[in-house]
Structure 1
Amino acid sequence: MRPMLATSGDPRTGPPTGPGWAHEIKWDGIRLLAEVRDGSLRLLTRSGRDIAAAFPELRAITGVGQDLLLDGEAVAMVDGRPSFGHVVDRVHTASPTVAAQLAAARPATYIAFDLLRLDGMQLTGLPWSARRAALEDLLLDVPGVLVSPVYDDGAELLAATADQGLEGVVSKRRTATYLEGGRSTDWLKFPHRDTMSVVIGGWRAQTGTATRLGAVHVGLPARDIEGRPLRDGAGRLQLVYAGRVGSGLVGRTGLALAERLAQVPDAPYPFTAAIPRAEATASTWLEPQVVIDVASLGLTPGEGRLRQPSFQGVREDLTPLDLLELP
């Protein structure tokens, strides 16, 4: 099963108004389906990967019921605010010892916002309001788990989340059913920052060094004329170039990303169009595997290049093909 996805709302009008809508905080965490069967917990990323071993502090979810499927986010708080970097770093933690140490040092919280199955009964066809009421009754006083608060005034919540440095707001139609794996206008998202996910296709060394990461070349998955992912003769995904990202790669952050890219095989130039020689010089091209988030001032008209992009973090919960579903 894949989670329901929100459509980008119109920032000019803001969140919808009226009693037919409810509004939640948009948490800066990892989207996970939490499934319990016979006392065993699975935490499934959007790509279907089970990362429950990385979050031992969330095992209390197994005490809620024998058969259960929740939708929510794993969130790590730093100074009272969600930190995407601190939670996404745990995705690849496979060692039980390391996972326990990380859980003790900075525990994650599972913030649940939907109930999809309970005791063998599929609830996705019920309206959001009914699923929400059942969720609140079910998740009382479960260690490591919170139910995402709901608000009636979306505009007021949007202003409050901006003041508090939170990611934004998601507005949900109270009568909406749960659309598995689909994107719907029954859920509208209003983020405060213009952040997008892109794929790394190569990197350049920092000036004066041979190995220290200076910038990464990024792009978005290309499509063929039939709308399918565009691949080269060897089956490698091709990318539409979106520019270079160098800001945000200083210090430990850059070293960590360089270590991650060292695990990716070199490959031929992966972009669909040539880039200026000055940008391509001394670059190493990679198989398009690693997805990152960047904050920017949007894309330039015509070329579609990121304006003043800044690296935000690796999205280990996404694959390049997942980006074909994003608006």
Structure 2
Amino acid sequence: MRPMLATKGDVVPTGDEWSHEVKWDGVRMLADVRGSVDRARLTTRNGNDATVAWPDIHPAPMGGRDLLVDGEIIGINHNGVPDFAVIQERMHVRSATSAARLATTVPATFMVFDVMRLDGRDLTSLPLTERRAILAGLDLGTWQVPPTYDDGLMLRDATLSQGLEGIVSKRRSSTYQPGVRSKAWLKFAHRHRFSFVVGGWRPQEGTKDRLAALLVGEPTPDGLIYRGRVGSGIGGAASRLLAGKLAGRHRAASPFADEVPAVDARGTVWVEPFLVVDVESHNKMPVTRLRQPSFRGVRTDIGPEDL
């Protein structure tokens, strides 16, 4: 099963037919407990099995009772705020030994906001209010069920002041539609963080192979449009990670539909536009050229088509 997706909203809805939740800056995850008393199978938004990466999340609650839930795995930064960058390193782990080590040094929390199956019963056709009531009655152990709110405008302002990512507004009557991007769920993000597609990389001065900066763009109907060069935030570990992701994907010419400034194009290694990264900057939407951008992480859960 693929998770139900929210549509980007313009105006926070009001009225009794809507409930509102905090939008978590983490990794979307489905947890499926089926015929096992010791652990849940964790799958990403794209349907990839990520169980091995999260040993602190996959122990099954309720004695292995049959269960399928939807939620977000988050990590807390030094300011006490959920931050995607905190768990970036853990997302790519495929070694059980490394995952166990990281679970102690980079702890994660599973925020569960929906339930789709319980004890063999399919709950997806029930309205959100009934699914949330069922979820609230479960003892999920270390998995947390965050609250919902009636006042979306209040929650928007509160999350903005607290440095949280944003809010999600959901119709109380909405059924769970696997894999569907629905207007019954609306998302409103605060942060000045954007996802872009990598079109090239620049080596560190004096080297030929040490990745030091990315050239990124935004997919548009006219092709991939250049938005800027990102070097800040790419340390040793990030450099190695990105180099590994881009290895073997080089191309002879720029993938950008528009002209890249000569100062940025000089020495660039062009790559196929397949990798999505998160970038923070001082920009607000719409972005034309990034201002003081900083690399924040690779998004393995989405592709260029999602942007």
In structure 2, distance between residues paired with 1:197 and 1:135: 32
Aligned CA distance change for structure 1 residues 67 and 299 (closer, same or farther; 3 Å): same
SS in 2 for 1:130: helix
Report the Cα offset of residue 220 of structure 1: 4.3
Aligned CA distance change for structure 1 residues 127 and 64 (closer, same or farther; 3 Å): farther
In structure 2, distance between residues paired with 1:129 and 1:22: 9
In structure 1, distance between residues paired with 2:71 and 2:188: 17
The one-letter amino acid of 1:115's match is V
SS in 2 for 1:90: helix
- Write out aligned runs for 1:1-327 (5 A): 1-10=1-10, 13=11, 15-39=12-36, 40-63=39-62, 65-79=64-78, 80-138=80-138, 140=139, 142-143=141-142, 145-207=143-205, 209-221=207-219, 240-252=224-236, 255-261=239-245, 263-269=247-253, 271=255, 273-276=257-260, 278=262, 279-296=264-281, 297-298=283-284, 305-308=288-291, 309-318=293-302, 320=303, 323-326=304-307
SS in 2 for 1:88: helix
SS in 2 for 1:60: coil
Q: How many residues are aligned here?
A: 301
Aligned CA distance change for structure 1 residues 133 and 299 (closer, same or farther; 3 Å): closer
SS in 1 for 2:196: strand
In structure 2, distance between residues paired with 1:169 and 1:268: 42
Cα deviation 1:51-109 (Å, max 9, x = unaligned): 11011111333545442211100111233221211213212212211111111122211
- Contact 1:201 1:286 (C-alpha < 8 Å) held by counterparts: yes
Report the Cα offset of residue 204 of structure 1: 1.6
The one-letter amino acid of 1:142's match is G
In structure 1, distance between residues paired with 2:123 and 2:163: 34
Superposition TM-score, scaled by structure 1 size: 0.83
Report the Cα offset of residue 153 of structure 1: 1.4
For structure 2, list consecutive stretches of 5 or more residues without a partner in the other structure: none
In structure 2, distance between residues paired with 1:90 and 1:249: 17
- Contact 1:168 1:192 (C-alpha < 8 Å) held by counterparts: yes
Cα deviation 1:150-190 (Å, max 9, x = unaligned): 11111111111112111111111111111221112211111
Report the Cα offset of residue 219 of structure 1: 3.0
- Contact 2:62 2:140 (C-alpha < 8 Å) held by counterparts: no
The one-letter amino acid of 1:292's match is V
In structure 1, distance between residues paired with 2:94 and 2:102: 12
In structure 1, distance between residues paired with 2:195 and 2:30: 20
SS in 2 for 1:99: helix
Cα deviation 1:26-48 (Å, max 9, x = unaligned): 11100011111111521111111
For structure 1, list consecutive stretches of 5 or more residues without a partner in the other structure: 225-238
SS in 2 for 1:48: coil
The one-letter amino acid of 1:72's match is G
Report the Cα offset of residue 50 of structure 1: 0.6
SS in 1 for 2:59: helix
Structure 1 stretches (4+) deviating beyond 4 angstroms?
220-224
SS in 1 for 2:154: helix
Report the Cα offset of residue 277 of structure 1: 5.9
CA RMSD of aligned residues (A): 2.5
- Contact 1:30 1:88 (C-alpha < 8 Å) held by counterparts: no
1:232 is aligned to none
The one-letter amino acid of 1:124's match is T
- Contact 2:40 2:59 (C-alpha < 8 Å) held by counterparts: no
Single out whichever of 30-39 and 251-260 deviates more from structure 2: 251-260
Single out whichever of 204-213 and 72-81 deviates more from structure 2: 204-213
Identity of aligned residues (%): 45
In structure 1, distance between residues paired with 2:266 and 2:170: 48
